[in-house]
Structure 1
Amino acid sequence: MTDALHFKPAAIPQADTLDGRFIRLEKLDPARHGDGLWQALQGPASDPLLWDYLPYGPFSERAAFDRWLQGNAAGRDPLFYSVIDRASGQAQGLLGYMSIVPDHGRFELGHIAFGAAMQRTPKGTEAVYLLSRLGFELGNRRLEWKCNNANARSKRAAERFGFVFEGVFRNHMVVKGRNRDTAWYSITGEEWPALARGFERWLSEDNQPPEGQLQTLHACRQA
């Protein structure tokens, strides 16, 4: 546990570009990323379930989608990043920091919208790893993940990434006119080094050869 007497407020993320092996994270720029994101998130091959538990979308018109991107790009909390596929150079998804509280060393990953081209690939996992790593490097001591308790995909992802389930806030929000019970998960600064090593093993060339991965992320954490 971090000694409260010696804790210093965390630094605020500045939306620096983060380079990974499979993807690159860039601050959301609607002018550069808009076409790719529209195709990835609303195109013919997009995930039909993507918007089910997000507080916005789907978007039937490009103009409304662009206004949404522009609003996201203008903010600092949430702070949005585009996920750029290194092989194609195309923007294929979004995610960001939110609930950024430097005085308490707390931040959250949220607004996650990964296009179908990212799913069942290492790209989403690497995006979560890169933002998590930076958040702890900035001096934070708690990373949060929150989702609708009915969102089985998000809950499975949180558990796969190593987040600890903390409970359910009942009747927490109303989203798109429906009740949302919110499931809370977290990773603490003390837990992060071991989880980071698991991410790095899973993303390594040894585990991600051209023909596919060899070990699960859980197994890599146990190694």
Structure 2
Amino acid sequence: MLNYQKIQENDLSQQVGVDVQLEQAQHFQPEQLNGRWGKLIPLQTLESDSTLFRSMWRTIERESNKGVWTYLPYDEFVFQVQLEGALKSNFALKHALHYLVQVGHQAIGWVGLINIREKDQVAEIGNLYFSDQLRQTTAATEVIYLLLEECFCKGFRKIEWRCDDLNEASINAAVRLGFLYEGTLRQDRIVKGKNRNTACFSMLDEEWKRISFAFQDWLKQDNFTVNRQQKTRLEEFMKQYPITGRLEKEIKERLMATVS
């Protein structure tokens, strides 16, 4: 049984959740996160004339898949000044931090830690743009691992992943990365003039203790060929670290009913 499933009785004989110790909570100060395949560079640590901004624009110019902008809350950037304005203003989002994804010397994507609620020790991974140079690469998975590890090490209790329930790529990514489907918020918001139902996923600190082992095993050098091709998929490593208390079968049936 995981902590969120535990209950206790108060002085009025009512059932309530268990007490939470908050002494480990830390104010989140973004730092550069380095992996073997890629890096996460916090936007707020970059100088206004950073070459990474220009590098990011070159990536946007070469983007071959126009569909990457469909489910983001903004359209494709058509001018460099427009892109740099969004990056330097943190996409005009409060309670959010953003990172550029750097592979080699090139910035080829970004990811946000948004809707940060330090009091509750909860945040959401979102506003994610992975270019065609980054999608379905080892670096793409590694940078999410780096961000999750940073969050849980800093005392977060829960990390969320929310997306349009029609965004199959994002849903598949959430499941593959070990997030658990919680449900769908109907008519949650209006995006680009269209209705959006929001599929909600999450990962808890207790779950991360086991999920992180799967990531670490997958990222080991001997799991990749000299051509950087994986030998064993991340999902197979996930199966080696099952999490007691997760109703996987029930949740997957609910998810399939939602997207079908």
Q: Which residue of 2 aligns with 1:116?
A: 132
State the TM-score, normalized to the length of structure 2. Answer: 0.80
Q: How does 1:6-155 map onto structure 2 within 5 Å?
A: 6-8=21-23, 10-28=25-43, 29=46, 31-32=49-50, 33-40=52-59, 42-72=60-90, 77-85=95-103, 88-155=104-171
Q: Which residue of 2 aligns with 1:195?
A: 211
State the TM-score, normalized to the length of structure 1. Answer: 0.92
| Equivalent position amino acid for 1:31 in 2 | D
Unaligned runs of 5+ in 2: 5-17, 241-260
Identity of aligned residues (%): 31
Whole-Å separation in 2 of the counterparts to 1:151 and 1:5: 35
Of structures 1 and 2, the larger Rg is shown by: 2
Whole-Å separation in 2 of the counterparts to 1:75 and 1:193: 30
| Equivalent position amino acid for 2:57 in 1 | W
| Equivalent position amino acid for 1:155 in 2 | I
- The alpha carbon displacement at 1:145 in A equals 0.3
Task: Find 2:235's aligned residue among 210, 218, 222.
Answer: 218
| Equivalent position amino acid for 1:202 in 2 | W
Tell whether the 8 Å contact from 1:20 to 1:130 is kept in structure 2 after alignment.
yes
- The alpha carbon displacement at 1:99 in A equals 1.2
How many residues align structurally?
A: 220
Tell whether the 8 Å contact from 1:146 to 1:183 is kept in structure 2 after alignment.
yes
- The alpha carbon displacement at 1:193 in A equals 1.1
Q: Which residue of 2 aligns with 1:169?
A: 185
Whole-Å separation in 1 of the counterparts to 2:27 and 2:55: 28
Unaligned runs of 5+ in 1: none
| Equivalent position amino acid for 1:213 in 2 | Q
Against the structure 1 CA distance between its residues 107 and 201, is the aligned structure 2 distance closer, same or farther, given a 3 Å change threshold?
same
- The alpha carbon displacement at 1:143 in A equals 0.8
CA RMSD of aligned residues (A): 1.8
Tell whether the 8 Å contact from 1:73 to 1:79 is kept in structure 2 after alignment.
no
Greater relative contact order structure (CA < 8 Å, 6+ sep): 1
Tell whether the 8 Å contact from 1:9 to 1:104 is kept in structure 2 after alignment.
no
- The alpha carbon displacement at 1:73 in A equals 7.2
Q: Where has structure 1 moved over 4 Å in runs of 4 or more?
A: 73-76
Whole-Å separation in 1 of the counterparts to 2:24 and 2:190: 32
